[in-house]
Amino acid sequence: GDGTASARRKVSLARRPPNRPMTAIHTPHNLKHIATRGLSPLRLSPPRRSTMARSSTSSSSSFCDAFVERVEVKPTSSPSSSLAGLTACVKDIFDMSNHTTGFGHPKWRETHQPATENAEVVDLLLSSGATVVGRTHMDELAWSLFGVNYHYGTPRNPNAPNGKIPGGSSSGSASAVADGLADIGMGTDTGGSVRVPASYCGLYGIRPTHGRVSLRGARSLAPSFDTCGWFARDAALLRRVGNELLPPPATRANTPLTRWLVAADAFDLADPAASEAIYGAIAKKREELSLVFSSPPPQEVSLDHLGGGSYDAWFEAFRVLQSREVWQELGPWVEANRPELGPGIRERFEYARTVRDSEVEEKAATRESIRVRLAEVLGRDGFLMLPTTPGPPPTSNESPEVVTDLRARLLRLTSIAGLSGFPQVSIPVARVEGEGPVGLSLLGPPGSDEELLRLAERVANVL
């Protein structure tokens, strides 16, 4: 914010918990501050379209169809299967037999052969009765959160005003589901690539506990952060998909999530209008929500110092560790093929090349401290409420400075689940007038995915 008390809007949801002083939730006017810096807008570079991209572009030079290619792969199960009659789209990061996985970059497609078998989650969808109707666009090599692809364009956001981005990197799947072109959208989430598009496109989305859902047959970005997630237009279907994709938990019984926690300082990272919209939606239904949770009023908690630092420390730990893993996974291919990389992606690879072992060791210790402390805060029955994103979707022509600032604030929020490996569900609860949707997230203990999905469905029924 601008650093003055008068510039902060105080919004409080929680009543005072026992033996703990009440702390108001502050939401600094970050966007207003950014918007008044005098930065001239610079349109993001227009896409360098490949032949495949040209075949699916819309009338706009900067927006593209949600699909890389349309297909129709029939289910392998009986008509009575749980997902029978439903359609699914698949991010172009997952293998499909006889199709070349493009990974959001024409050079990747050019340097790889068609897959000989489906990714495991594709087979699970088909065996559960779903029909796969297409492969969807994604951000370049999955290393972005906005949905803007330098080579192919930007899938539209059907639930926001014209020019608003869908979020990424699972941009095409979110766009297709929001537009009613598929019932289920498969994506991956490393730094927020399901949660951010879910919030921006007004969808339900989940990042599961790390390792719960198979990524066999999917391209890897940063293995210790990568997860397989999905979108739906309603919470009941999000849960039904989870019933098919989530294997039985190895260590956790289905302990109900009844202890309602609010990450007060996480709301400090959100725009005032977004916080007000979220809190307004919750406050109207607070009594009903208390019945859903079968718990006392919500208790505010602070997370920023759990790792021995602040959210800046969380962001730095995520940035260093993710960058090292990305370079290990994709650096050899980048050096061997010298692909043309879009703005932002290029700079991140240049940084990733320089990460030192000493930095990795230090940030790995920070990550472990965060994971242990967050597990203590949640216990087995706690769930944490926080904004999914700092605000509604931005436009595709924001200045580079605004994009950099927004990415940093996004990652401070999304790194909570990323560093811990804990599951998080985004619920569309409100809109900022004239700007678009904003999502509310529920974050649970590791292995609580099923309970979190059930809780999200009950919250959705109230809100």
363: tokens are 């940030």
Sheet holding 424-432, edge to edge: 67-73, 131-136, 87-91, 184-189, 227-232, 204-207, 424-432, 436-443, 382-387, 259-263, 299-301
DSSP tag of 12? -
DSSP tag of 381? T
3-state secondary structure of 227: strand
DSSP string across 140-207: GGG--SS--BTTTBEE--TTS-TTB---SSSHHHHHHHHTTS-SEEEEEESSSTTHHHHHHHT-EEEE
175: tokens are 């766009």
Q: E strand or H helix at 134, and its extent? A: strand 131-136
Alpha-carbon distance of 51 to 93, in angstroms, equals: 19
Is-contact 438 430, C-beta < 8 A?
Answer: yes
Alpha-carbon distance of 85 to 240, in angstroms, equals: 13
Cα dist from 232 to 86, 138, 181, 321, whole Å:
11, 17, 11, 30
3-state secondary structure of 399: coil
458: tokens are 């009950």
Neighbour tally for 93: CB within 10 Å: 31
Residues 6+ positions from 430 with CB-CB distance below 8 Å: 274, 277, 278, 280, 281, 437, 438, 440
Catalytic residues: 91, 169, 193
DSSP tag of 130? P
